[in-house]
Amino acid sequence: MSSVTKTTTCYHCNDECTDEIIEHDGHDFCCNGCSTVYQLLQDVGLDEAYANGPLGIRPEESSNTDLAYLDNPEVKQNLLDFSDGKKARISFELPAIHCSACVYLLERLERLNKGVKQCEVNFPKKRANILFDETEITLRQLVALLRSIGYAPNLNLQNTTEKGDKPTTDKALLYRIGVAGFCFGNIMLLSFPEYLIGEKVLEEKWSELFNYLNLLLALPVVLFAGRDYLVSAYKGLKVRHVNMDVPVSIGILAIFGRSAYDILAGVGPGFLDSLAGFVFFLLIGKWYQAKTYSGLSFERDYKSFFPIAVNRIGADGQVDAIMIKHLLTGDEIQIHNDELIPCDCELLSEKASIDYSFVTGEAEPSSKNEGNRIYAGGKNRGSVIRLRVMKPVSSSYLTSLWNSADTSKDAAVPPLLNFSNKIASWFSAAVLSIAVITAIYWLIVDPTNWLNTTTAVLIIACPCALALSIPFTYGSMLRHFGRHGFFVRSVEAIAKLGQIDNVVFDKTGTITIRLKGSVLFGGAELTVDQLEALVNVARQSLHPLSKTFAAAFPKTPQEQVVGFTENAGVGIYGMVNGTLVELKNPNNLSEQERKQFDSWQTDFHGMGKTAVLINGHLHARVEFTTSYRVGLHRTIEQMKEKLTVWLLSGDNDTEAAALSNDLIAGFEKDHMFFNMDPHQKRQWVEEKQSDGTAKVLMVGDGLNDAGALREAHFGISIAEDNSQFTPASDGILTASSFEKLPQLIALAKQSRSVVLGAFALSMVYNVIGVTVAVQGLLSPVMAGVLMPLSSVSIVLFTTVSTAILAKSKLQ
């Protein structure tokens, strides 16, 4: 490594090397910080970060002594979303994020420090959600690491309980609109004599004075009101990226430069009224777009409809199911086995086992004692526990966890989304090329008109309308889905739902519903104590059959359950007053036990069966009368018209005849598979999609089929009463909306047509606009008015189109 003095730009940040140049590995760097970051990235194999040119970020030169406060436990607790003493999760705002290379680098942060386990970047919001091991890297060291590579986070200790939930008003934009409007009005007033036809109405000295005043008024328009466009264009060009603000900035600078020359040279008043009007209307359009986007709220306020309910314990001891948005600090709640903990709480029960795999990705349960803090996103593993709410529900946090739970799925982006992502990269370049040709033509034909014409071309061509087609189409569809009880993970997930060609149903809890008071026994008679023990063990579980069993005996007194365990596809067991009881899937009995179980008969043949074991010995047979969901036959028949429909069940084939009956369900006989455990269901889905031709939609209850839901191209969990939230799913469908499933799938598929229609409308607008502009028939001011209106027209088109589609399909 050596230092020399010459003029060049930094290979890392692209800034000019003014003082000294540090040479390393054949590249020039402006400081030791940039050189160090480059070497660090090379050492961990991240040299691809420079594939598209310099990163454009210069790391801060700091000793990091100002970060000592991050070692304070109270500060850490306020900033962290989750911490169990080892794994921790935090969300940072990183203002320096500006391009795909930033995302590439940050999402590989674990290569720079092994203490970082995962980093997910939200590019539009410039936020990074980081999971790290506190035993390997502290919060202070993590912030220092981000600083060292040029991504210093904004650390705000206020209002951290609802990060990102509350929209903020952009006051700076309003100030810019005010300044632009004031200057525009005064420039128009001072330019009024220039608009009059005929002889000059002002003496030359007054005309010259007004021109200079206009030039002074134009300075804040360019330097303050139009600053965001200029800065954005500069940052883009700095990293060799032509963004959509480049043409706008060229137009602003061209009009201002030409006008300044005319006024200073005394050859004319220039076009400052057009410049001020152009910037003013651009900002008005930007404000209107922001208001429109906020009104549509396609980011979705999960506080309003996120389908998680929780059991709240009232002052009288009564337990009522309420939506999590109604929870208040100090409320006591009851959480069953495998149920999500929706907010930060204090444990009131003596002990608990909490699974934080939803938060940390690791399934090893964490033991907690009375008084311990339990973080949002954990799942109870064991007996029912009581908790006291410590912090209001953070819906944005739960949403981010739900999205991050999708990391195990195929990351392939639907083709339509890929197409949209490529638009901006070539669009601005094409517009600049047309503008250059237009300028050359008008300089030859009519030199007095080249500036206005070229500027109008630069302004009128807007890639925004194209880029907005997908997010607003699918975003609007998310809203309509939510209104009809279907809640989807993300915009990208709707595009995936539109690709499915196979639908797989689970049986128990998915296409069946439980009937109250419909439990019969066979085999040996149960004592009162044994029945009470079974009911109390069943109360710990959310499985449909367990809930049916517990609901059949509502007056059974509460007893403490010790050692409760639930094994998916196998059964549940626990000890009550010294008696070990078990409700077990008959398919998991030994051959001898199965023969004895089958020999016991009840007065009816129910659709659900389970074995009762007392102290490890088969004791009785339980049958449940369940019913198929209303409209099941119609739902299956509608799907079979365009999709291939399958049934995967963990029960035996005693219901095969009924399920294949065209009056009950209508499944094809060779499309039904029974006696399948959760692993086999997942494996079946995996094999079905293995050749890449099939796209499977899995519909289940989210309990025994979580693996299949996760493996499927799109997974839907059916939510019954106390909504069973399943992170493995891409969507949650309320049970009352089950009959609407065919229409919901059809809407997802038809959304593609709306997107293509929006693309076509955008292209028509741009072609017509550019055609008119190159002929000199469009002024820069009118172009400034029409450009934001094009985006608004796309918003209206997609909103109205999706509303019409939704109304026609979902009555």
Q: What's the rounded mean pLDDT across residues 449-477? A: 76
- Phi, psi values for residue 409, rounded to 5°: -85, 170
Query: 810 near 484, Cβ under 8 Å?
Result: yes
- Indicate if 292 and 428 belong to the same structural domain: yes
Indicate the pLDDT class of residue 63, thresholds 50, 70 and 90: low
What is the number of structural domains in the chain? 4
Domain of 729 in residue numbering reads as 168-305+401-499+713-811
Is 313 contained in some domain? Answer: yes
Beta strands in 439-533 (DSSP E): 486-488, 502-505, 512-523
Q: What's the rounded mean pLDDT across residues 533-549? A: 86
- Indicate if 485 and 613 belong to the same structural domain: no
- Indicate if 178 and 148 belong to the same structural domain: no
- Indicate if 609 and 539 belong to the same structural domain: yes
- Which of 322-325's residues contact partners 24+ apart within 8 Å by CB, and which partners? 324/393, 324/395, 325/393, 325/395
Is 47 contained in some domain? Answer: no
Q: Tell the residue number behind the tokens 């606009």, with chain if given.
A: 769
Whether the CA torsion 373, 379, 385, 389 is positive or negative: it is positive
Is 40 contained in some domain? Answer: no
Strands 309-313 and 345-347: unpaired
- Indicate if 84 and 223 belong to the same structural domain: no
pLDDT of residue 531: 92
Reported as a single tens digit per residue, the pLDDT across 280-310 is 877 876 776 566 555 544 434 433 334 467 7
pLDDT of residue 536: 92
Order of strands across the sheet that contains 332-335: 319-323, 309-313, 332-335, 385-389, 345-347, 373-374
Indicate the pLDDT class of residue 503, thresholds 50, 70 and 90: very high
Nearest to 651 by CA among 515, 521, 508: 508
Reported as a single tens digit per residue, the pLDDT across 162-177 is 444 444 446 788 899 9
- Indicate if 442 and 480 belong to the same structural domain: yes
- Indicate if 601 and 525 belong to the same structural domain: yes
Q: Please provide the size of the chain in residues.
A: 811
pTM exceeds 0.75: no
Is 665 contained in some domain? Answer: no
Q: End of a domain among 589, 607, 628? A: 628
Query: Does residue 577 register a pLDDT over 80?
Result: yes
**Mean pLDDT taken over the chain:** 78
Query: Does residue 589 register a pLDDT over 80?
Result: yes
Nearest-10 crossing angle of helices 272-296, 245-265:
160
Whether the CA torsion 316, 319, 323, 327 is positive or negative: it is positive
- Residue 586 to residue 502: CA distance in whole angstroms: 30
Nearest to 312 by CA among 324, 300, 301, 295: 324
Is 686 contained in some domain? Answer: no
Reported as a single tens digit per residue, the pLDDT across 307-351 is 467 788 888 888 887 777 778 889 999 888 878 788 888 999 988
- Indicate if 352 and 211 belong to the same structural domain: no
Is 205 contained in some domain? Answer: yes
More confident residue, 782 or 433: 433
- Residue 765 to residue 762: CA distance in whole angstroms: 5
Cβ count near 805 (within 10 Å): 20
**Element holding 643 (H helix, E strand):** none
- Indicate if 294 and 430 belong to the same structural domain: yes
Query: Does residue 533 register a pLDDT over 60?
Result: yes
Structure tokens at 781: 């001011």
pLDDT of residue 373: 87
Within 8 A by CB and 6+ apart from 635, the residues are 629, 738, 739, 741, 742
Cβ count near 329 (within 10 Å): 11
45: left (phi over 0), alpha (psi -120 to 50) or beta: left
Alpha helices (H) along 196-271: 204-220, 227-238, 245-265
**Element holding 392 (H helix, E strand):** none
What percent of the chain has pLDDT above 90? Answer: 17
pLDDT of residue 305: 39
Query: Does residue 204 register a pLDDT over 50?
Result: yes
The one-letter amino acid at 55: L
Query: Does residue 395 register a pLDDT over 90?
Result: no
Reported as a single tens digit per residue, the pLDDT across 30-57 is 665 566 666 666 665 655 556 555 555 5
- Phi, psi values for residue 127, rounded to 5°: -125, 150
Reported as a single tens digit per residue, the pLDDT across 125-150 is 678 889 899 999 999 899 988 887 77
Is 406 contained in some domain? Answer: yes
Q: What's the rounded mean pLDDT across residues 659-677? A: 85
Structure tokens at 700: 């289940």
Q: What's the rounded mean pLDDT across residues 475-498? A: 83
- Indicate if 473 and 549 belong to the same structural domain: no
Q: End of a domain among 155, 190, 213? A: 155
The CATH number covering residue 329 comes to 2.70.150.10
Query: Does residue 96 register a pLDDT over 70?
Result: yes
